[in-house]
Amino acid sequence: MAKQVRFVSQPTVIDGQSVSELAVFDADGNPVDLAGSSGGTITSVKATGLAAGATPTATLADGVLTLGIPAGAKGDPGAAGAPGKAGTNGTNGAAGVGVKSLALTADASGKITGGTLTLTNNTTSPVTVTTATA
């Protein structure tokens, strides 16, 4: 992976700017003064990515300045975004079953003894009557 590098000379660091100390050495391991001409002429610059936390590297050989630039540390998660728009309504559920009729039966004294419950799907269920003691 190649990365673009820009050398900037400014009096102060701008917020969010990543600053790394960098030393440049020639192919024989001698320090190169980029401000002067003691290290030779730079004809091109090549940058390669290094693992996060690695030491930055730089070499100058045959006019090619090769920089090894470590990846930055993982940043903090950003703020949560706005909620999304409401979704579409789901499909209707199955039709329910209601009570169509309730027929009660009584004995000769008028006491309810049972009955039949008929539902809207025309199924029936017996009604059982129990007497609670006071």
**Band of residue 1 on the pLDDT scale cut at 50, 70, 90:** very low
Residue 15 lies in a domain: no
Write the DSSP symbol of residue 111: -
Q: How far apart are CA 37 and CA 58, in angstroms?
A: 17
Look at residue 53 and tell me if it is in a domain: yes
Answer yes or no: is pLDDT of 2 > 70.
Answer: no
pTM score, whole prediction: 0.33
What confidence tens digit (pLDDT) does each residue in 18-37 have? 766 667 777 787 877 766 55
Give residue 32's domain range: 25-70
Residues 66 and 29 in one domain: yes
Which one has a higher pLDDT value, 3 or 129? 129
**pLDDT exceeds cutoff 70 at 98:** yes
Answer yes or no: is 93 within a domain.
Answer: no
The answer for 92, left when phi > 0, alpha when psi is -120 to 50, beta otherwise, is: beta
| Separation between Cα atoms, residue 44 and residue 65, nearest integer Å | 6
